[in-house]
A and B are shown apart, each in its own frame.
Chain A
Amino acid sequence: MGAPTQKAAIIGVGETDYQTRIPEQTYAELAQEAARKAIEDAHLSPGDIEAVVYSMAPTEFMGVTDADKWAIDAVFGRSKPFMRVHTGGATGGSAAQAGYMHVASGLYETCLVVGADKVSETPDAQFILNLIWDPFFERDFALNTITMAALQTVRHMAKYGTTEKDMAHVVVSSWKNAQRNPRAHLKGVLTIDAVLESPYFAWPLKRYDCCPRSSGAAAVVIASERVVRQKATRAAWISGVGGVANTVYMGDRMGGARDTDLCDWTELELAAREAYRQAKITDPVKELDVAEIYAPFSSNQLMGVAALGLSSHHQAGALTQEGFFDLGGEVPVNPSGGTLCANPIAVTALVRVCDAALQVLGKAGGYQVPNVHAAVATGVGGSFQFQTCMVLTDEPR
């Protein structure tokens, strides 16, 4: 792998509120709101944007095939290079990386990364998610995001002794954090017992272990070092990126010939290793001040902290219960409330990047972690087969 030819940083962040439905705006208008906010936040005008990367996952949720086309004018993409990126849930992480590569390659000085989703435009989201599976071998067996996460979680419980109570702590902490985030979809006071007593969707996952279906949009403006210096603006430097894909077959990741384990999030471990190498991070617990982990199900956060080197797999549950990852803990995880509290699928991983950037920029408001020098954002998609990792820092590295 080569090296970037110039440094790149996030200088603008734009997000809408996340909620079940947003009937006040069409899909394209929703994407536009985030694009406009990010460009304004960067103190740029649409004419300053040289290229657009569009973050769009399966379009069947909002029912217009390849909806990115609908949004081109709305996000100020007309007459500019424009590409859509799609890696399932990881889409926003991959799109941010593609935006970074536009600038880091030296080919562009600015790039807008933007997307939107309206997951609740259809009541049949889990039916659509079933369609990602092979029609010959897997689609018949009621696989969807909830059941695939449950299958993975069962392995984690068997391998590491993880309990439903460990998972419940993740939920309670996320909902509590989300109270400080005005854009979060779900938030409030939940007790461990309320989580444990909620009905099973797919054992061992219960209602509150699962993320919502959200509508909303997000965007970042990525700029070269030259633009950052010209504007004399604060910047969240993109100091490391990693992305790893794996087979769609979950059965390959639990069989005798497995080289990765579905429940270990090995793909994220590999992606993080690369991102940390670029960002010169050797001790993530000491050097990372905050983590925004794409954890659509409570158990995923336990897998994520271990894959990021913030814990061992065995200790992830105990450390969670001790408050190690809470606001005020050693490494706060998902101070925004995370994916459990807002999940606009096409941009959920971009929201992780937005929230990590806001932390580095000191603009996270009520959920700001003090003195953030380095933050990490992750994304996961497909059958847990895509993982992305981005390290953002307050100074270029």
Chain B
Amino acid sequence: MVQRDDLLVLGVDWHVHYDHSAGEIVSAFLKGLGNGVIQGRHCPLCGAVWLPPRAYCERCFVATDQWVSVGPGGVLEAFTIVGQKFDNLPEPPYVIAFARLDGSDSSLANFLTMTLGSVEEMAERLAVGQRIRAEFKPESQRQLRITDFHYVLA
């Protein structure tokens, strides 16, 4: 593209704050994290335990009826090792994982912490189907957020 000095641009920045309401179900889940517990919601019809927890089973169209503690063990269902620096995100490499915690029927995203190496070396040490474990931060550091725990290789 030829640079043309007759064309102007207008620089604009957005700074916007939101307060997202977590609602009853998600609030209860996040408070559970403060106690080191990961809980899914159980469907009385199909028996599935959903994570993220839902007020309704979206397959059966009925209200979920109870909390079920899951994990801390689980199975790695998908992962990627990020090798590129993105703005506002950690220095690469780091691992994003989806894992199905024991007792649940869907997979939950989190970071997976492991010994660092090159992207290829780290890829060689990971496989779909591998056992993992959810590991919590020390109680004093928990913020009632999903980042209160992360995955490690079992």
Bound complex: CA of A127 vs CA of B90, how far in Å?
13
B108 at the interface (CB under 8 A from A): yes
Bound complex: CA of A134 vs CA of B129, how far in Å?
25
Shortest CB distance B143–A (Å):
11
Contact B107 A255 (CB under 8 A): yes
Shortest CB distance A165–B (Å):
15
Contacts of B84 in A (CB 8 A): 146, 199-202
A144 at the interface (CB under 8 A from B): yes
Interface residues of B (CB under 8 A from A): 1, 4, 7, 9, 12, 14, 18, 20, 22, 26, 30, 46, 48, 50-52, 58-59, 77-84, 86-90, 94, 96, 98, 100, 104-111, 119-120, 122-123, 127-129, 145-147
Contacts of A146 in B (CB 8 A): 84
Contact B7 A24 (CB under 8 A): yes
> What mask results when residues 332 to 357 of chain A are scored 1 for a CB within 8 Å of chain B, else 0?
00000000000000000000000000
Interface residues of A (CB under 8 A from B): 19-21, 23-24, 63, 124, 126-127, 134-138, 140-144, 146-147, 150-152, 154-155, 158-159, 199-205, 247, 249-252, 254-259, 262
- B30: nearest chain-A partner, CB-CB: A136
Contact B106 A256 (CB under 8 A): yes
- A150: nearest chain-B partner, CB-CB: B80
Known A-B contacts A250-B98, A251-B51, A254-B98; the reply to A202 vs B78 at CB < 8 A is: no
Q: Which 4 A-B pairs have the closest CB atoms?
A: A255-B106, A251-B107, A150-B80, A200-B83
Contacts of A155 in B (CB 8 A): 77-78, 128
Contact A23 B59 (CB under 8 A): no
Bound complex: CA of A262 vs CA of B80, how far in Å?
14
Bound complex: CA of A258 vs CA of B100, how far in Å?
11
Contact A127 B26 (CB under 8 A): no
Contact B96 A251 (CB under 8 A): no
Contacts of B127 in A (CB 8 A): 158
Contact A142 B108 (CB under 8 A): no
Contacts of A134 in B (CB 8 A): 52
Contact B96 A126 (CB under 8 A): no
Contact B59 A251 (CB under 8 A): no
Contact B26 A136 (CB under 8 A): yes
Known A-B contacts A63-B14, A142-B89; the reply to A201 vs B110 at CB < 8 A is: no
Contact A262 B59 (CB under 8 A): no
- B29: nearest chain-A partner, CB-CB: A136
Contact A255 B100 (CB under 8 A): yes
Shortest CB distance A143–B (Å):
7
Contact A204 B83 (CB under 8 A): no
Known A-B contacts A135-B20, A255-B100; the reply to A202 vs B106 at CB < 8 A is: no
Known A-B contacts A202-B82, A257-B48; the reply to A154 vs B128 at CB < 8 A is: yes
Bound complex: CA of A201 vs CA of B94, how far in Å?
11
Count chain A CB atoms within 10 A of each CB in B48, B81, B96 and give the residue with the most. B96
Contact A142 B100 (CB under 8 A): no
Contact B106 A127 (CB under 8 A): no
